[in-house]
């Protein structure tokens, strides 16, 4: 059996999301969250907050590049609430708990459980829960964990070298509608959720298919990619910026 396509995990996911043009970006919401934006054929300079990496390309295509921002703890924060604290029984119930509240009432959860990755790169940072009151509940903590995932992705997007017009989402947590809507609200950009959560496998399949001639070009691949739900920003920008500022203040405590 021939080996006709090979790529790293996130590079394959970028290809599987058909992010071929500069500025096209994806976020994979798994245990960690991985944000990549295509840079095209030019190896553009990037900030210290993100990594430059090779992008997967079709056979014989010119080299292309991407900027990558790995967030170390995404869905792992929910796993910790489930397995470590017993706050939830399943990660899936986090959506209803979060949606049942109008806000976290000032509770923030900075999930630096293994330090912080992009764009901060601080291995010595430690997790932080702040803003607790006598009225804080398990639901507030769960919502704060979901909000932290969205804020961390927004932190990466803030330092990417290109403006992102749409963010394509995949991975297990992309099924969480509360999270996806909040993500669109915080970044002020449409979020398109892939109908296939495992876009890494999809990208590897597409690369192999191109390698053996099942498809002729990346245009054929783009036409095959199926989009699921789309989330448009609904929060006004002043409110979104107030949320972002409050998150940054909580984050500063974890970075001390």
Task: Residue 101: give its domain's CATH number.
Answer: 3.30.420.40
140 occurs within a structural domain: yes
Chain-centroid distance, C-alpha 157: 10
Q: For residue range 204-231, list pLDDT tens digits in order.
A: 999 999 999 889 889 898 888 888 899 9
Q: Give domain status of residue 226, yes or no.
A: yes
- CB-based contacts of 11: which residues, under 8 Å, 6+ apart? 36, 53, 54, 55, 56, 66, 203
Cis peptide before 119 (omega within 30 of 0): yes
Residues 129, 34 share a domain? no
- The rounded mean pLDDT for the chain is 94
The reply to whether 111 falls in a domain is yes
Report the alpha-carbon distance of residue 152 to residue 191 in Å, rounded: 15
The number of residues in the chain equals 256
Q: Are residues 23 and 114 in the same domain?
A: no
- Yes or no: say if 228 and 191 are a contact pair by the CB < 8 Å rule: no
Residue 256 has pLDDT above 80, yes or no: no
Residues 79 and 144 in one domain: yes
Same domain, 101 and 226: no
Query: CB-hemisphere CA count at 13 Å for 23?
Result: 6
82 and 144 co-located in one domain = yes
Could you report the per-residue pLDDT of 45-74, keeping only the tens digit for each?
788 899 999 999 998 899 999 999 999 999
Say whether both 94 and 118 belong to one domain: yes
Q: How many beta carbons lie within 10 A of that of residue 99, not counting itself?
A: 15
Same domain, 83 and 136: yes
Q: Which of 140, 116, 117 is nearest to 253 (CA)?
A: 116
Q: At residue 122, what are phi and psi to the nearest 5 degrees?
A: -125, 100
Q: Report how many domains make up the chain.
A: 2
- CA-CA distance, 120 to 205, in Å (whole number)? 34
Domain match, 56 and 117 both: no
- The answer on 204 and 89 residing in a single domain is no
pLDDT digits (tens, 9 = 90+) for 120-164: 999 999 999 999 999 999 999 999 999 999 999 999 999 998 889
In which band, very low, low, confident or very high, does the pLDDT at 28 lie, cut at 50, 70 and 90?
A: very high
So what's the pLDDT on residue 134?
Answer: 97
67 with 194, same domain: the answer is yes
Q: Does residue 160 fall inside a structural domain?
A: no
For the chain, give the DSSP string: --------HHHHHHHHTT--STT-EEEEESSSEEEEEEEETS-----TTSEEEEEP--TTPPPEEEEEEEES-SHHHHHIIIIIS-S-S-GGGHHHHHHTSS--TT-EEE--BTBB-TTT-BTT---EEE---TT--HHHHHHHHHHHHHHHHHHHHHH-SS--SEEEEESGGGG-HHHHHHHHHHHTSEEEEESSS-HHHHHHHHHHHHHHTSS-SHHHHHHHPPEEEEE---S-HHHHHHHHHHHHHHHHHHH-
In a shared domain, residues 95 and 144: yes
Same domain as 15, residue 45: yes
- For residue 161, being part of any structural domain is answered with no
Domain that holds residue 122: 75-154+236-255
């Amino acid at each position: 059996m021939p080996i006709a396509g090979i790529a790293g995990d996130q590079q394959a996911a970028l290809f599987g999301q058909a992010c071929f043009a500069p500025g096209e970006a994806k976020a994979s919401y798994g245990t960690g969250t991985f944000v990549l934006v295509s840079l095209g054929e030019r190896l553009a300079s990037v900030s210290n907050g993100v990594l430059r990496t090779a992008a997967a390309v079709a056979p014989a295509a010119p080299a292309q590049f991407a900027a990558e921002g790995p967030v170390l703890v995404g869905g792992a924060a929910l796993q910790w609430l489930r397995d470590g604290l017993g706050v939830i029984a399943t990660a899936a119930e986090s959506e209803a708990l979060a949606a049942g509240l109008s806000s976290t009432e000032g509770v923030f959860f900075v999930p630096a459980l293994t330090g912080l990755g992009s764009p901060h790169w601080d291995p010595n940072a430690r997790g932080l829960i702040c803003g607790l009151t006598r009225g804080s509940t398990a639901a507030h903590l769960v919502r704060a964990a979901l909000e932290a995932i969205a804020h961390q992705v927004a932190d990466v997007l803030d330092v990417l070298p290109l403006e992102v017009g749409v963010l394509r989402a995949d991975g297990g947590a992309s099924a969480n509608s509360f999270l996806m809507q909040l993500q669109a609200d915080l970044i002020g950009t449409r979020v398109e959720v892939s109908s296939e959560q495992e876009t890494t496998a999809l990208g590897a399949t597409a690369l192999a298919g191109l390698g053996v001639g099942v498809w002729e070009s990346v245009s054929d691949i783009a036409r095959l990619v199926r989009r699921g739900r789309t989330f448009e920003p609904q929060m006004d920008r002043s409110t979104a910026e107030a949320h972002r500022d409050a998150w940054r203040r909580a984050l500063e405590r974890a970075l001390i």
